[in-house]
Amino acid sequence: MNAQRVAVVTGGSRGIGRAIATTLAARGFAVVVGYTRDAGAAKDVVGEIVAADGAAVTAQVDVAEAEAVEAMFGTAQDTFGGVDVVVNSAGRMTLSPIAELDLDDLDRLHRTNIRGTFVMAREAARRVRSGGAIVNLSTSVVGLGFPTYGAYVASKGAVEAMTMVLARELRGRDITVNAVAPGPTATELFFEGKDEETVQRLAKQPPLERLGTPQDIAEVVAFLAGPTGRWVNGQVIRANGGIV
pLDDT category of residue 190 using cuts at 50, 70 and 90: confident
Instruction: Give the per-residue pLDDT at 179.
Output: 98
Set 35, 149, 152, 190: catalytic member: 152
Q: Is 149 in the active site? A: no
Q: Where are the domains of the chain?
A: 6-185+217-235
User: What stretch of H or E contains 201?
Assistant: helix 196-204
Mean pLDDT, all residues of the chain: 96
Q: What single-letter amino acid sits at 175?
A: I
Instruction: Give the per-residue pLDDT at 188.
Output: 84
Segment 114-153, tens digit of pLDDT: 999 999 999 999 999 999 999 999 999 999 998 999 999 9
Between CA 15 and CA 143 the distance in angstroms is 22
pTM equals 0.95
Q: Which fold has domain 6-185+217-235?
A: Rossmann fold (3.40.50)
The H helix count followed by the E strand count for the chain is: 10, 7
Beta strands in 61-172 (DSSP E): 85-88, 133-137
pLDDT category of residue 2 using cuts at 50, 70 and 90: very low
Instruction: Give the per-residue pLDDT at 192.
Output: 82
User: What stretch of H or E contains 154?
Assistant: helix 150-169
Segment 24-78, tens digit of pLDDT: 999 999 999 999 999 999 999 999 999 999 999 999 999 999 999 999 999 999 9
Segment 177-189, tens digit of pLDDT: 999 999 999 988 7
Identify any residues that bridge with 35 across adjacent strands, giving them in sequence order. 60
Higher pLDDT residue, 194 or 50? 50
Is residue 67 helix, strand or coil?
A: helix
Instruction: Give the per-residue pLDDT at 218.
Output: 98
184, HSE (Cβ side, Cα atoms, 13 Å): 24
Residue 1 has pLDDT above 50, yes or no: no
Share of the chain above pLDDT 70, in %: 99
Instruction: Give the per-residue pLDDT at 175.
Output: 98
State the burial class of residue 175 (Cβ atoms within 10 Å of its Cβ: 0-12, 13-18, 19+). buried
Instruction: Give the per-residue pLDDT at 3.
Output: 66
